[in-house]
Amino acid sequence: MSEPNVLQPVAPWPASDLPGHRLHFDESQPLLLDSGEKLAPFTLAYQTYGALNGDKSNAIVVCHALTGDQFAAEDHPITGKPGWWSSMIGPGKPIDTDRYFVICINVIGGCIGSTGPREIDPRTGKPYGMKFPVITIPDMVRAQMRVVDHYGIDQIFCAIGGSMGGMQVLEMATRYSERVFAAAPIATAAYHTAQNIAFHEVGRQAVMADPDWCGGDYALYGKTPRRGLAVARMAAHITYLSEAALHRKFGRSLQDRKNITYGFEADFQVESYLRHQGSTFVKRFDANSYLYITRAMDYFDLAAEHGGVLARAFEGVKTRFCLVSFTSDWLFPTSESRALVHAANAAATPVSFVEIESDKGHDAFLLDEPEFHRIISGFLDGAAVYRGLRRR
């Protein structure tokens, strides 16, 4: 396939058209990556909610999951849907914006304003594509700390996030422990299991097998690997749910008909639901970003730099932790949260833990779970009292 002479639009949502804040770093301020490469120039897109107090002691960094972004508590500019954590962030909510200053940053390697594979490589004038350097969870966190520094915040009051966001929280709180007073890693783990890596590999192969992927250069040809990315999303979405939740919502109900068709259309409601999830996902997410971010999750291993001994990652860490898991989460089961708790206990790091009864699967932290909301609200209130953080 020959390369066209004229570049096509990279995506239907130019980053410059998205609302919110951006920090730009030029060639003199490179981001040193775990791979040994340097990323420069680069941009970080983020949103804030609430107001920073006088002594800058009320900042909460919210870390998003794999398919999330910085629009945590407002209508999304691309989909028009409510922010992914609108139930948690806002006035009077568990993360109370009348009390806290919330920062949510689109991860490096993403596709909603922060520099990632869909952006233009200044060395070539073309989209990075697969020439974008491989990034890791520590790389994401190093970038996030640039935003924290921009606001002159010496110590983050709390870092909080679920799934991949929880991995970022763990990295932030252990690597920058003096700068993180409290941390709430939710539905997460110290590393990705072989099963989780396997699920991600199926998704990546689905993307790369799509003829429209074009070796990652689909933007040059005005194409998008929609079918492959949709299949990747469908497969991943199954892992975010539980069998009980799927059965309760769909069972074996047929889709808008009384009889089966004896064909391969979406006979069952669950099939139609998954196809809808896939088709809507490709409208807001970049396929190459999906490859890069899933790879970053696969590479994450909190114990790797400590001889494989997880407790050593918590040595000297004074951050106050609250870990949360959900009984029906088989993607990041409770046993993995308990391993983190045991490691923190072994290092005398202050930690509390709760397993919440829920049949909603891994996605429970994104849904209406009153007990989860009470737990986070109580943890933040207690940490605020201990920190001496007054209400505005």
Residues catalogued as catalytic: 163, 329, 362
Task: Assess whether the previous peptide bond of 138 is cis (omega < 30° from 0).
Answer: no
The helix, strand and coil proportions of the chain, stated in percent and rounded to the nearest 5, come to 40, 15, 45
Inter-CA distances, 179 with 106, 197, 260, 378, Å: 20, 31, 59, 22
Inter-CA distances, 185 with 69, 103, 257, 336, Å: 17, 16, 44, 12
Compute the distance between CA of residue 351 and CA of residue 365 in angstroms, rounded to an integer: 19
Buried b / exposed e along 98-111 (16+ C-beta atoms within 10 A) = ebbbbbbbbbbbbb
Q: Which residue has the tokens 């870390």?
A: 63
Provide the 3-class DSSP secondary structure of residue 217.
coil
Provide the 3-class DSSP secondary structure of residue 324.
strand
Nearest to 191 by CA among 159, 161, 167: 167
18 contacts 114 by C-beta, under 8 angstroms: no
